[in-house]
C-alpha cells in the first residue's frame, strides 16, 4: 500500500503537468489566432476582389463586378467622335455623301480645294467600301466612312432615300456636338473659298442660322447639297423633321400597290420646311451668281476684262449636279470648262496649274 504522502505527491505532480499542458495548449491556440488575425488584417487592403471561404483560405471571387455602361459604338458614334476632335474655330465640319460613281468627282474636288486647308474637317460618307479605301489611300487626312454593309439590302429609290436619311442622321449627330456643318457635293467646283463668305454672312446677320442655295430654273427648290447649318435648337428641330419626312416616304414606298410620285422627295420636303420657317429657322439664300448651278456650263463666254473681274469677285461655287442634259456627261462638261483637275492616266495626279487657271475662268451665267 502506497503511503498517503507519496500518493498525494504523485497526484499534485500529475495535476501540475495537466495544468501546464492546458496552459501550453491555450498559448498555442492564442498564438495561432493572433497569427490568423494578423494575416487577415495585413491582406485586407489587397483583398478587394477576394472573399474568405474559411479562416485560413482566401480565394478569388468567381463573380465579377458589372462595369459601367458605355455608349454603343456604331458609325454614328465614330462620326461624332471624329467631328468632336476637329478645330472648328474658322472652318465648320464639311460633310458630303458619295455615290458608287463618285470617286472621280471626289478626287477632283479634293484636288480643287487643296490650298484651302480643309482636309482635317472633311467627313465623307461613302456608299462603297472600295471608294472609301481608294480615297483613304490617296487622301489620308480626309475622314471617309463606308455604309456599304448598311445599304446592301436595299435597291433603287429605297436605297437612295435610306442613304439620304443616313447622311441626315450623321449631320444631326454633328449638330448635337454643337458644331456647324457645311453640306457640299463633290461634283462641284470651288473657284473661291466659300467659307469666308459664309462666315461673313453669319457675322453680319446674327439672327441667320441657315445659309443655302437655290436653283436658277427652279426658284421654289432649295439645295441640301450646299448649305451651312448652325448648331442651334431651331436648325436641329427643322433637321429632325426633315428626317421624319424621309421616314414617311420610306414607309409608303415599301407598301405594296402604293404609288408615291417622284415629286414627293426629300428635296421638296426640305424646301417646304425652310419656306414655312419650321422651327422658326431664319435662312439666307445665296443667289446663283454666287453659287451657280449646272446651267453655268451651257452659258456663253464673256470676253471683256470688266466682266471677268466682276465675275471673279462674285462667283464662288459652280454646282454640277441635277444636270438637265443627258447628251453630255457631267465629267465631260467640266473638262470642256477646264474644271477637271486630275489626270487619271497619271495615277490621279493633281494638276495644280489647272486649278489656278480655273479661278481665272471667264464663263458666265
Instruction: Give the three cell numbers for residue 141.
Output: 487626312
Instruction: Give the three cell numbers for residue 233.
Output: 435648337
Amino acid 323: pLDDT: 56
Rounded distance between C-alpha atoms, residue 333 and residue 345, angstroms:
19
Single pTM value for the model: 0.76
Instruction: Give the three cell numbers for residue 3.
Output: 503511503
C-alpha 305: how far from chain center: 44
Instruction: Give the three cell numbers for residue 299.
Output: 452659258
- Non-local CB neighbours of 167 within 8 Å, separated by 6+ positions: 95, 97, 125
Rounded distance between C-alpha atoms, residue 147 and residue 78, angstroms:
13
Sign of CA dihedral 115, 119, 122, 128: positive
Bridge-partner residues for 122, per DSSP? 94
List per-block mean pLDDT (blocks of 10 residues) for the chain, which spans 365 residues.
45 55 68 61 41 33 38 83 93 95 94 93 96 94 95 90 95 96 96 93 93 86 94 96 94 89 87 93 92 78 45 80 64 87 83 80 45
Rounded distance between C-alpha atoms, residue 271 and residue 281, angstroms:
12
The CATH class of the 75-290 domain is alpha beta
Instruction: Give the three cell numbers for residue 237.
Output: 428641330
Rounded distance between C-alpha atoms, residue 156 and residue 9, angstroms:
115
- 141-146: long-range contacts (C-beta < 8 A, 24 or more apart)? 142/110, 143/82, 144/98, 145/75, 145/78, 145/79
| All structural domains of the chain with their residue ranges | 17-60, 75-290
Beta-strand relationship, 188-190 and 143-146: unpaired
Amino acid 262: pLDDT: 84
| 74 SS3 class | coil
Radius of gyration of the chain (CA): 37
Amino acid 307: pLDDT: 47
For 208, phi then psi, to 5°, come to -80, 130
Amino acid at each position: 500500500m502506497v503511503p498517503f504522502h507519496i500518493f498525494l505527491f504523485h497526484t499534485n505532480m500529475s495535476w501540475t503537468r495537466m495544468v501546464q499542458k492546458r496552459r501550453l495548449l491555450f498559448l498555442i491556440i492564442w498564438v495561432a489566432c493572433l497569427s490568423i488575425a494578423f494575416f487577415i488584417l495585413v491582406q485586407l487592403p489587397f483583398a478587394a476582389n477576394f472573399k474568405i471561404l474559411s479562416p485560413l483560405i482566401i480565394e478569388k471571387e468567381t463573380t465579377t463586378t458589372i462595369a459601367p455602361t458605355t455608349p454603343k459604338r456604331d458609325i454614328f458614334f465614330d462620326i461624332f467622335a471624329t467631328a468632336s476632335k476637329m478645330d472648328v474655330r474658322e472652318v465648320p465640319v464639311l460633310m458630303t455623301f458619295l455615290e458608287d460613281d463618285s470617286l472621280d468627282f471626289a478626287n477632283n474636288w479634293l484636288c480643287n480645294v487643296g490650298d484651302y486647308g480643309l482636309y482635317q474637317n472633311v467627313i465623307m460618307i461613302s456608299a462603297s467600301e472600295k471608294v472609301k479605301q481608294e480615297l483613304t489611300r490617296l487622301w489620308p487626312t480626309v475622314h471617309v466612312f463606308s455604309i456599304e454593309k448598311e445599304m446592301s439590302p436595299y435597291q433603287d429609290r429605297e436605297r437612295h432615300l435610306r442613304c439620304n436619311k443616313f447622311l441626315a442622321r450623321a449631320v444631326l449627330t454633328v449638330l448635337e456636338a454643337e458644331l456647324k456643318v457645311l453640306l457640299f457635293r463633290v461634283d462641284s467646283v470651288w473657284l473661291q473659298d466659300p467659307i469666308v463668305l459664309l462666315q461673313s454672312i453669319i457675322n453680319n446677320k446674327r439672327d441667320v442660322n441657315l445659309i443655302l442655295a437655290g436653283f436658277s430654273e427652279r426658284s421654289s427648290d432649295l439645295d441640301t447639297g450646299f448649305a451651312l447649318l448652325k448648331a442651334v435648337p431651331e436648325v436641329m428641330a427643322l433637321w429632325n423633321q426633315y428626317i421624319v419626312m424621309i421616314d414617311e416616304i420610306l414607309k409608303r414606298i415599301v407598301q405594296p400597290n402604293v404609288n408615291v410620285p417622284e415629286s414627293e422627295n426629300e428635296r421638296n420636303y426640305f424646301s417646304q420646311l425652310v419656306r414655312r420657317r419650321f422651327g422658326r429657322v431664319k435662312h439666307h439664300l445665296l443667289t446663283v451668281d454666287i453659287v451657280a448651278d449646272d446651267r453655268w456650263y451651257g452659258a456663253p463666254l464673256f470676253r471683256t476684262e470688266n466682266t471677268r473681274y466682276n465675275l471673279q469677285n462674285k462667283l464662288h461655287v459652280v454646282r454640277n449636279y441635277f444636270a438637265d442634259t443627258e447628251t453630255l456627261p457631267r465629267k465631260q462638261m467640266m473638262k470642256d470648262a477646264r474644271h477637271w483637275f486630275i489626270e487619271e492616266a497619271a495615277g490621279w495626279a493633281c494638276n495644280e496649274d489647272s486649278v489656278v487657271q480655273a479661278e481665272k475662268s471667264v464663263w458666265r451665267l
